[in-house]
Amino acid sequence: KATVSVLYWGTMAKGKWYMQDPRTCRWVETDEATNGAMESAFRQGHSSVEFTLQGVGYRAELNKKRLYSVSTGGSRAIKREEVVSSNPYELEEYPSKKLNMKDIEALFEKHRQASDSDEQCIQGEGLLSLCKDLAISIDDDSLLLVACRIQASEPFKLGRSEFINGMKSLGIDSVKKLKAEISKWKSALTDKRHFKYFYWFAFDWTREENARVIQAESAVESWNVMLAPRCKSFPLALWNEYVTTVHKKAISKDAWKSLFDFIFSIAPDLSNYNEDEGWPVLMDEFVEWAKKEKRV
């Protein structure tokens, strides 16, 4: 079994295991099963764990320290920017500010009540109410940015603790401050690492509750909002056409995530596409269709 570098990203109480893909040397998030195996092995005091990922066997030496990896070649600290698939906001520090917690709670309660629900969250009409207060459209990605920055865990909902604790940690206690921060967050999306995390987060927040996929039409709507303004060299309209008229199936989380790397690595005419690089079948079929139909 190949020995791979792994690291634990987060606090000692809550975090995630990542491994360095030996083929690309990129840090990637482990799947749920692998993450569980590593966490269980560590808690039981094991110094290593063996696992299989996509049919390949690996052995990982475990050393649960923040931003730390261990490999056969020794150990070294991992720079935050190397963890391309991790949360770039996790270790972001905001200057200490004097906040009015009552104002934060009142802001949440105002829009929770507008949600017309007994749940302790902002949803439905409450989200529309929040958008109106912020002078943003429900159809752009501003609300999604808010959900991302407070780490909302349920689709199309902003929970009480998530909202209040999130606003507190971000130093926000008013609509005015939140509007100013949204503008800054949008500017930060020019950083590919920030944009990637934001894009990945979008899958879980915009899917239907309890669904493991996103319907093609909904995916296309999200891609037009998130990707079209920022990935102008990629033939997104052609991709959307294929997904809705040929593929006609829901989009899995794997396909959603893979599209990000696909659009930033493939030439506009798809000439550098290599099917041996292990892209999901959806990408293989898209390129085959586009070339057969002479659309590129």
User: What pLDDT sits at residue 204?
Assistant: 92
What value does the mean pLDDT of the chain take? 82
Give the position of tokens 């906040």: 99
Would you tell me how many other CB atoms lie within 10 Å of the CB of residue 226? 20
Tens-place pLDDT, residues 125-140: 999 999 999 999 988 8
Using pLDDT thresholds of 50, 70 and 90, give the confidence band for residue 85.
Answer: very low
Tens-place pLDDT, residues 16-39: 777 766 655 566 777 787 788 877
**Contact, 194 vs 154, CB < 8 A?**
no
Measured in degrees and rounded to the nearest 5, phi and psi for residue 6 equal -135, 160
Tens-place pLDDT, residues 130-169: 999 999 998 889 999 999 999 898 999 999 999 998 898 8
**Distance from C-alpha of 231 to C-alpha of 118, rounded to nearest angstrom:** 41
Instruction: List CB contacts of 278: < 8 A, sequence separation 6 or more.
Output: 23
User: What pLDDT sits at residue 10?
Assistant: 53
Proportion of the chain above pLDDT 70, given as a percent: 77
**Selection from 233, 239, 161, 230 nearest residue 198 by Cα:** 230
**Distance from C-alpha of 184 to C-alpha of 188, rounded to nearest angstrom:** 6
**Contact, 73 vs 22, CB < 8 A?**
no
Q: Global pTM?
A: 0.71
Kindly state the tokens that stand for 295. 């659309």
Measured in degrees and rounded to the nearest 5, phi and psi for residue 206 equal -105, 0
For residue 233, give the amino acid letter: S
**Distance from C-alpha of 110 to C-alpha of 130, rounded to nearest angstrom:** 9
Using pLDDT thresholds of 50, 70 and 90, give the confidence band for residue 64.
Answer: very low
Tens-place pLDDT, residues 203-249: 999 999 889 999 999 999 999 999 999 998 999 999 999 999 999 99
Measured in degrees and rounded to the nearest 5, phi and psi for residue 44 equal -85, 0
Instruction: List CB contacts of 268: < 8 A, sequence separation 6 or more.
Output: 233, 234, 235, 296
Kindly state the tokens that stand for 118. 């007994």
**Distance from C-alpha of 235 to C-alpha of 257, rounded to nearest angstrom:** 17
